[in-house]
Structure 1
Amino acid sequence: MPSHQTDPAMPDLSRRAFASGLSLGILGGGVLPLVTSAGSATAAPAAGQTSAPAAAAAAAPAASVTPLAQIRIGRFTVTAVTDGYADMPYTFFPGRTAAQVEQAAVAQFVARPSGVRFVFNQYLIEDGTRRILLDTGPAGSIGQTGALPQALGAIGLRRDQIDAVIVTHMHEDHLGGLVVGGQNNYPNAELFIDRRDVTHWTDPAKRAGAPEYLQNSFRMSAAVAKLYPRLQAIDGEREVAPGISIVDLTGHTPGHIGVRIADAGQSLIMVSDMLFPVVHPQATDVGFVFEQDRAAAQSMRDRFFSRAASEGALIAATHMPFPGLGRIVADRGQMRWQVTDWAWQS
């Protein structure tokens, strides 16, 4: 991408900006290394969902396939599922003009009139004793979403069977599923959220001074604090279960975290909003409008991308094309995203 930087004006995040047709069906049936799974359930709004824009829901055809993909990391089974998607206008990426972002999307054959497509990937971690979910998606508050309960149902799970939820940060597209319908949707789950994010997103003064496009995140964060008595505000990098540890990735939000799972010499790093499609990992200086500390977010990308490339780290990224699993590789001096090989391994 060109290196010229131009910060766009802060956008009006209207629901109409995210509206487009649901097309999850084309994503099902993929095979990831070690273990695979494909589901065939209809993706529909979550029970009790009231916040999805009616016009978008009416325009969206029903999905015929629920995309699922699994990978083994030692004793852990990690299942990638998705709550749906939203298209982010080309103006949402400070550091480049809208024309430059669109040009990059055209070059990658993923350009859409409505912008850059963000998938909302969630990851279920199972070790035979506990089921831990990483994030819960926007659940209809943004774009064509609300499919996570059906995705869990496709592998025989209900939300009340989840033992813990790790929330990587308190933006609405990562915690909406916790409180959609104004209720505790994961009643038996412990919640792990970085204390810095809990402090920020439940602060009435911060909420009063925040722009309109962040108000949903503040409202949902307040609901999470009220409805989940088992919320644990955690501090720093720590192990939350054997083999599952928190990674500090602050910048995108004050308490933005990732999750590392490791066993038997294998590991997977779930990096949440460290990576965005089209613009990353090629250009670390390109941000996203929701980032609260752009300098810190860029600094984190500078450090993380180069280290991940040198170590060949396997990564899971929330907004990369489903299932969001791949590696950052250095290719003739440029960083690029290498999708994990979709093939059976003997």
Structure 2
Amino acid sequence: MSDPSRRAFALGLPLSVIGASTLSLVAGAGSAAAESAVTPVAPVAPLAQIKLGRFTVTALADGYTDMPYNYFPGRTPEQVEQAAKAQFVGRPSGVRFLFNQYLIDDGERRILIDTGPAGSLGQSGMLPKSLAALGLRRDQINAIIVTHMHQDHIGGLVVGGQNNFPNAELYVDRRDVAHWTDAGKRNAAPDYLQNSFKLSSDVVRLYPRLQAIDGEREITRGVSIVDLTGHTPGHIGVRIEDAGQSLIMVSDMVFPVVHPEGTDVYFLFEQDRAAAKAMRDRFYPRAASERALLAATHMAFPGLGRLVSDRGTLRWQAAEWAFQS
């Protein structure tokens, strides 16, 4: 891995809410054993905004799905379910995964990080509605950074077999493009990865402005790529920083329930478990020591938090994001 930051990861960022709607999408996720008093309500498109210098970063949601308890090699399904229930998020069908996306706006460009599964997994497909809540159409997005080419991160790009963001430049790590468009790898892959291969081919075919990028680089002033390879060959994060404040969107570096307590807990879709573990082993302690503010795709909306040490064990601490001055 390249050094995730030659500067400090984060600077104890004070968060200020710019606007937020009800978090009903998450509130509908009561415990399977009625361990929570949360009352489900009809899903809405949740929005949460923070300021980072000149940037406004908006957390959006495409929806959610439940990942079965046996999708986490390194722990038994019983262990994962027990941990989920201990955190009051146990469900009959598994661990609830959100599909969070992040919109970066500096007043001149709108950059979207990932596009969700767009209905190909679980209860998803809400991203257009989320953008509409901001008064935006998909053709008003100037650029999209794809953190990796799993279906839950690229589905919205090509849902319906078309280019859904016609005015956007697309940035994808070259290693992921090579992997997910390799016919030999596709033929040898298990069934549960076939949709990612198909969608990746569609992305390459439908987005002539796709830029296959190499390593850590700046996309625009204050928005840069972080190398987080492991989960996929070209798994990347995105650092947003300005005026001494920063946020790192870490994509699938952290999964609910199983992380960050165990770096040896994997996910079924990971191609190289050893590489994924090695990256977590390097990244987690660094992020904790630097008090980095993180944004994670699958954590409870809006996916903002930090890794903190609790009596020698790392845990996810959700960041206070609302009503901060």
- Which residue is 2:198 aligned to? 219
Aligned-partner residue type, residue 268 of structure 2: V
- Which consecutive unaligned segments of at least 5 residues does structure 1 have? 1-31, 44-60
1:65-80 equivalences under 5 Å are 65-80=44-59
Secondary structure of 1:337's counterpart equals strand
- Which residue is 1:137 aligned to? 116
Higher relative contact order (CA 8 A, sep 6+): 2
2:171 maps to which of 192, 202, 212: 192
Relative to the length of structure 1, the TM-score reads: 0.84
- Which residue is 1:3 aligned to? none
1:172-321 equivalences under 5 Å are 172-321=151-300
Secondary structure of 2:247's counterpart equals strand
2:15 paired with 1:36: no
Q: CA deviation at 1:174?
A: 0.1
2:260 and 2:314 in contact (8 A); partners too: yes
- Which residue is 1:117 aligned to? 96
How far apart, CA to CA, are the structure 2 residues paired with 1:204 and 1:87? Answer: 30
Q: CA deviation at 1:63?
A: 3.4
1:38 and 1:66 in contact (8 A); partners too: no
- Which consecutive unaligned segments of at least 5 residues does structure 2 have? 1-13, 26-39
1:160 and 1:189 in contact (8 A); partners too: yes
Q: CA deviation at 1:40?
A: 7.3
Secondary structure of 1:87's counterpart equals strand
After superposing the two structures, state which structure 1 stretch, 142-151 or 336-345, moved more.
Answer: 336-345
- Which residue is 1:86 aligned to? 65
Secondary structure of 2:18's counterpart equals coil
Aligned-partner residue type, residue 114 of structure 1: S
Secondary structure of 1:260's counterpart equals strand
How far apart, CA to CA, are the structure 2 residues paired with 1:272 and 1:342? Answer: 19
Q: CA deviation at 1:62?
A: 8.7
1:98 maps to which of 62, 66, 77: 77
- Which residue is 1:47 aligned to? none
Displaced runs of 4 or more, over 2 A: 38-43, 61-65
- Which residue is 1:50 aligned to? none
How far apart, CA to CA, are the structure 1 residues paired with 2:185 and 2:254? Answer: 26
CA RMSD of aligned residues (A): 1.7
How far apart, CA to CA, are the structure 2 residues paired with 1:242 and 1:300? Answer: 26
What are the superposed Cα offsets for residues 250-274 of structure 1, whole Å, 9 maximum, x if unpaired? 0000000000011111100000000
- Which residue is 2:316 aligned to? 337
Identical-residue share of aligned pairs (%): 73
Q: CA deviation at 1:342?
A: 4.0
1:39 and 1:155 in contact (8 A); partners too: no
2:23 and 2:301 in contact (8 A); partners too: no
Aligned-partner residue type, residue 45 of structure 2: T
1:160 and 1:187 in contact (8 A); partners too: yes
What are the superposed Cα offsets for residues 25-83 of structure 1, whole Å, 9 maximum, x if unpaired? xxxxxxx931232347999xxxxxxxxxxxxxxxxx99353211011111111000000
Q: CA deviation at 1:88?
A: 0.3
Count of residues in correspondence between the two structures: 298
2:118 and 2:159 in contact (8 A); partners too: yes
How far apart, CA to CA, are the structure 1 residues paired with 2:302 and 2:114? Answer: 14
2:304 paired with 1:325: yes
Relative to the length of structure 2, the TM-score reads: 0.89
Aligned-partner residue type, residue 129 of structure 2: Q
Secondary structure of 1:36's counterpart equals strand
Distance change (3 Å), C-alpha of 1:205 and 1:274: same
Secondary structure of 2:208's counterpart equals coil
Aligned-partner residue type, residue 17 of structure 2: V
How far apart, CA to CA, are the structure 1 residues paired with 2:119 and 2:58? Answer: 22
1:132 and 1:162 in contact (8 A); partners too: yes
Aligned-partner residue type, residue 288 of structure 1: F
- Which residue is 2:144 aligned to? 165
Secondary structure of 1:308's counterpart equals helix
Secondary structure of 1:118's counterpart equals strand
